[in-house]
Amino acid sequence: MKIWAHRGCSQLYPENTLLAFEKAMNVKNLTGVELDIQLTRDGEIVVIHDEKVDRTTDGFGYVRDYTLKELKQLHIFAGRGVDTERVPTMKEVIELLLPRMKNDGFMINIELKTSVFNYPGIEEKIVALVDEMGIKDNIVYSSFWAESLVNVHAIDPAAKLGVLDNYVSNCLYKAIGLESMWRDVPNGSIALHPAGIYMDIPAEKFKGRDVRAWFGGHLYPELPTGGKLDVNKYAEKGATDLILNEPDKYLR
């Protein structure tokens, strides 16, 4: 079972921050990190989950209404001896993780947050950045909005894709639909990214696919529950990878 860090090590550190990604980068045998991207008002790619900044920063309003300079003025309380973090750009995250990406194939699962706001041009921008940084082999693109995956494929037909949805059955339906559109994409090659709690069909139906099941759970600053998932249970349900807030608990 491959293990990924969900928004970095997001149980013990603020999600989608350089701090959370640095901690994840230092977890031995971790496959990679999952993160979320959106665009600022001036078209910069930033790493943040919610469409609004209210939950994770001391600001309020939509990410898309801030310029990068304005967004960088917001504080993300980091705690544990660290006064603050800032919303990172995607390039900053890549630069942080690049040594491990080059050394041992460390991966980034980039979720395009385009299901609420489409962010026209975001696919072109992120594919261009990935190409510029020379990390195409280290990237998986995922989205709840299938049109974003269509756009990514049009720009880079070799890009690795993952279909996001809550239920694995919905992921499979979307993946089959996309594969039927493209002659250059073999059946079964698009990964499924369901919520781990909604593995609602038998594993035989999607056998052979990468299935990266994600778990939201508790995020910083909520206290850890002390619980641990039964990895074998999810393997039996067909998961090949788990995307977790506390990946280090499963890789010690």
CATH number at residue 167: 3.20.20.190
Confidence band of 231 (pLDDT split at 50, 70, 90): very high
Q: How confident is the model at residue 79 (pLDDT cuts 50, 70, 90)?
A: low
Neighbours of 191 (CB within 10 A): 22
Residue-number span of the structural domain to which 112 is assigned = 2-33+88-250
Give the chain's mean pLDDT.
95
Is the predicted pLDDT of residue 217 greater than 80, yes or no?
Answer: no
193 is catalytic: no
Among residues 49, 75, 193, 218, the one annotated as catalytic is: 49
pLDDT on residue 29: 97
Whether residue 11 lies inside any domain: the answer is: yes
Mean pLDDT of 28-46: 99
Look at residue 81 in the predicted model and tell me its pLDDT.
Answer: 58
Domain annotation covers residue 170: yes
**Are 199 and 235 spatial neighbours (Cβ–Cβ below 8 Å)?**
no
Q: How many CB atoms lie within 10 A of CB 181?
A: 10
DSSP for 19-49 reads: HHHHHHHTSTT--EEEEEEEE-TT--EEE-S
In a domain, residue 80? The reply is: no
CA pair distance 71, 88, nearest whole angstrom: 9
Residue 51 within a domain? no
Q: Tell me how many domains the chain contains.
A: 1
Q: Is residue 69 part of a domain?
A: no
Give the C-alpha separation, 35 to 139, whole Å: 11
**Cα separation of 85 and 202, whole Å?**
42
Q: Looking at the domain assignment, is residue 96 inside a domain?
A: yes
pLDDT of residue 26: 96
Residue 219 has pLDDT above 90, yes or no: no
Q: Is 75 a catalytic residue?
A: no
Residue 11 pLDDT > 70: yes
Residue carrying the six token digits 């049009």: 154
Q: Over pLDDT 70: what percentage of the chain?
A: 98
